[in-house]
Amino acid sequence: MAYVRVREGEPLPPISGETQLGPIDLAQFRGRPLVLYFYPKDSTPGCTREAVNFQARLDDFERFNAQVVGCSVDSVRSHQRFAERQGIQFPLISDADKSICTRLGVLNERGTSARRTTLVVDGDGIVRKIFENVKVPGHVDQVLEALQELV
């Protein structure tokens, strides 16, 4: 059963916020693919593996001219510590007020964190692939395959 409120083939709603690298508006990535992934919590084992896996493959994403952006309900300061410890160089949006996760329907049942979900968005801002209930092992490869299908 799908829980994400945006559907494949629909435009990604406007999203902006603060990251460990400063303010961000996802509209700034129009013209290039975007990978927006939601994760439950900084510095937990699964979320750390997922972020490190994306970071390790940034060169592969750059071959598609794709921007990777993470998002969780953690604070900007938490993202800063997490990124510093793990060498994460892509933006991590702080959704501390849970407005982004709520609007997109990726907040968990308890309303405490994001569900592990990834959206692949084309250069026109259209959601082309949604991965729900993501399992970390092999996920980055799945996302890269989805990007390959965009070209």
The catalytic residues are: 47
Give residue for tokens 């979320």. 47
The token pair at 1 is: 């059963």
User: Measured between alpha carbons, how far is 109 from 24 in angstroms, rounded to an integer?
Assistant: 27
User: Measured between alpha carbons, how far is 25 from 111 in angstroms, rounded to an integer?
Assistant: 24
Question: What are the start-end ranges of the H helices in 36-75?
Answer: 45-56, 58-63
Question: What are the start-end ranges of the H helices in 34-135?
Answer: 45-56, 58-63, 76-86, 99-104
The token pair at 29 is: 């990535």
Give residue for tokens 């849970």. 98
Q: Is residue 72 a contact partner of residue 39, using CB atoms and an 8 Å limit?
A: yes
